[in-house]
């Protein structure tokens, strides 16, 4: 561990988050005031009602209470917004920052030990069910009111509410895959941005050559399953059956894997090797260096592509589009979208103040900044990978910079309910199921028989579900 490792700084307040900034930068150079319970905050803020001190906050200049918060490295937006909450509530927030993939290895031993850990923790959807026994139902905290689900994106509801129907979290970021295209590359080649899957494959082939690649992605285990979901959905697949079964050995699933194999000639050969499955970092290096024409990724790439310290793509560097469908009766598009949330462990001794912080983070007024404060956020942390708001109204806010309207609109279009963007993190057995799936897909990408790998993996999944009812 080096001096920036957050585990060496658990008891000090972090102003600038530990992130992949240096990694990305080096790589590029080389190639409202709110009150009330969750759900009322956005409405009150919209009416211009200011925030009062929370019940758990210090009054009259007394000692400031401290909340301990576990926050993922990629979500620096909330660290940037925290000083406003501290000032309004005379409170101090102490962050523990960890890489997203490492969070379970931090959460599991802390929760199982049973001692006091954090007052607020950042979770993605699958972890809500996984750690449900250690989390506080928000309805158990005085003053909590569930949010108006009609004002939330579906991913946000899925992220913060357990399969049991209990609200454990306040919705935070939502991430949605969209298609990025190198504007200059497409214009120089006289090729239109793909609007059909055939166009997408043809462009990938046409733009491969002379050391350049038509498509780049991270298809190694660890983040391979969500990428595979894109092609699975483009082929009309649905991963979970109504009876709780898993559909991996189906025509749609086999075709998804075959479609990915068919793209390999137009991609870097290392795309299927570790560490290319880790958050698409390696794939972004190639894309931002101008060496690949297309990449499917989350919203932060739009902003990173505009930073000359991270990107060699120049001004107005990318076009974005809804991931194109195959036609012929198949879905118009397919993708993957996922939400995350802030939850309160049962061991917190300051649940009322913790709820105030969750309300502040999980509000339309605060999260509007995910669309309107990206320049400020980028200055705060150039490698930040915060997503987009959980609420739907901010996407139409007039304060969104005009130069960002393309990525905002395309994201909202990609996330339409009629497009299957599921991540399938809504069951406690998700982690094991995804590990089995990723091993099979990876083997197929390395040349193993597609049908045999799917059949073998389906057997493993079925046995796991049989051995672990309810998973």
Cβ-proximal residues to 255 (8 Å cutoff; 6+ apart), any chain: 231, 235
Residue 274 pLDDT grade (very low, low, confident, very high; cuts 50, 70, 90): confident
Angstrom distance (rounded) from CA 283 to CA 216: 6
Cβ-proximal residues to 60 (8 Å cutoff; 6+ apart), any chain: none
The residue assigned the tokens 């200059």 is 184
Residue 13 pLDDT grade (very low, low, confident, very high; cuts 50, 70, 90): very low
> What is the structure's pLDDT at 320?
98
Nearest to 200 by CA among 67, 30, 333: 333
Three-state secondary structure call for residue 235:
coil
Angstrom distance (rounded) from CA 364 to CA 173: 11
The residue assigned the tokens 């499917």 is 296
Angstrom distance (rounded) from CA 299 to CA 284: 12
Sign of CA dihedral 79, 81, 85, 86: positive
**Residue 3 above 60 pLDDT?**
no
H or E stretch at 337: strand 337-343
- List pLDDT tens digits, range 400-420: 999 999 999 999 999 998 999
Average pLDDT for 7-20: 31
When mean pLDDT is compared across 23-27, 138-142, 318-322, the lowest value belongs to 23-27
* E strand map for 83-207: 92-98, 120-124, 169-176, 178-182
In order of their start, the domains of the chain are 6-174+338-397 (3.40.190.10), 178-335+420-467 (3.40.190.10)
* E strand map for 135-275: 169-176, 178-182
> What is the structure's pLDDT at 280?
77
Pairing type for strands 337-343 and 169-176 reads antiparallel
H or E stretch at 52: none
Residue 17 pLDDT grade (very low, low, confident, very high; cuts 50, 70, 90): very low
Nearest to 365 by CA among 27, 35, 123, 142: 35
Q: How far is CA 429 from CA 230, 461, 470, in A?
A: 21, 10, 8
The residue assigned the tokens 């561990």 is 1
pTM: 0.85
Nearest to 32 by CA among 49, 19, 20: 49
Residue 346 pLDDT grade (very low, low, confident, very high; cuts 50, 70, 90): very high
Angstrom distance (rounded) from CA 338 to CA 331: 19
Angstrom distance (rounded) from CA 123 to CA 343: 7
Cα 213 from chain centroid? 26
Phi, psi of 80 (to 5 degrees): -65, -35
Exposed / middle / buried, residue 94 (Cβ in 10 Å: 0-12, 13-18, 19+): middle
Which residues share a beta bridge with 441?
Answer: none
**Residue 366 above 50 pLDDT?**
yes
The residue assigned the tokens 């309910």 is 417
> What is the structure's pLDDT at 400?
96
> What is the structure's pLDDT at 58?
53
Three-state secondary structure call for residue 41:
helix
In eight-state DSSP terms, residue 117 is: -
Cα 451 from chain centroid? 31
Angstrom distance (rounded) from CA 396 to CA 278: 32
Mean pLDDT taken over the chain: 87
Average pLDDT for 148-171: 94
> What is the structure's pLDDT at 124?
87
């Amino acid at each position: 561990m080096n001096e920036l490792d957050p585990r060496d700084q658990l008891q000090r307040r972090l102003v600038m988050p530990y992130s992949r900034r240096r990694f990305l930068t080096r790589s590029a150079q080389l190639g409202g005031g709110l009150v009330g319970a969750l759900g009322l905050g956005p409405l009150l803020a919209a009416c211009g009602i200011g925030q009062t001190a929370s019940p758990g906050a210090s009054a009259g200049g007394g000692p400031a209470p401290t909340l301990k918060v576990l926050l993922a490295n990629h979500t620096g937006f909330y660290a940037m917004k925290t000083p406003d909450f501290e000032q309004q509530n005379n409170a101090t927030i102490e962050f523990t920052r960890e890489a997203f993939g490492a969070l379970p290895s931090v959460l599991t031993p802390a929760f199982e030990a049973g001692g006091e850990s954090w007052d607020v923790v950042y979770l993605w959807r699958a972890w809500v069910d996984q750690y449900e026994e250690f989390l506080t139902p928000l309805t158990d905290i005085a003053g909590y009111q569930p949010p108006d689900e009609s004002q939330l994106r579906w991913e946000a509801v899925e992220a913060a509410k357990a399969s049991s129907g209990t609200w454990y979290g306040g919705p935070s970021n939502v991430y949605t895959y969209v298609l990025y295209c190198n504007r200059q590359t497409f214009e120089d080649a006289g090729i239109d941005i793909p609007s059909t899957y055939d166009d997408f494959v043809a462009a990938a082939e046409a733009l491969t050559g002379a050391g350049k690649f038509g498509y780049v992605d991270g298809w190694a285990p660890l983040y391979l399953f969500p990428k595979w979901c894109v092609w699975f959905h483009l082929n009309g697949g649905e991963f979970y059956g109504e009876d709780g079964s898993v559909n991996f050995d189906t025509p749609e699933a086999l075709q998804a894997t075959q479609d990915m194999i068919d793209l390999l000639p137009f991609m870097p050969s290392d795309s299927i090797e570790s560490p290319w499955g880790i958050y698409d970092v390696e794939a972004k290096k190639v894309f931002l260096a101008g060496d690949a024409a297309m990449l499917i990724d989350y919203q932060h790439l739009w902003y990173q592509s505009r930073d000359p310290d991270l990107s060699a793509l120049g001004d107005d560097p990318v076009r974005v589009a809804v991931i194109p469908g195959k036609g012929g009766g198949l879905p118009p598009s397919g993708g993957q979208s996922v939400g995350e949330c802030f939850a309160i462990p049962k061991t917190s001794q300051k649940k009322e103040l913790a709820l105030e912080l969750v309300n502040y983070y999980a509000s339309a007024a605060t999260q509007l900044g995910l669309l309107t404060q990206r320049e400020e956020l980028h200055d705060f942390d150039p490698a930040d990978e915060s997503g987009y708001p959980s609420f739907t109204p901010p996407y139409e806010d007039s304060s969104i910079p005009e130069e960002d309207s393309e990525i905002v609109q395309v994201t909202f279009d990609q996330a339409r309910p009629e497009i299957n963007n599921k991540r399938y993190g809504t069951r406690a057995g998700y982690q094991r199921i995804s590990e089995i799936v990723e091993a099979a897909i990876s083997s197929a990408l390395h040349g193993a028989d597609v049908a045999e790998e799917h059949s073998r993996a389906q057997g493993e999944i079925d046995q796991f579900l049989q051995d672990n009812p309810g998973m």
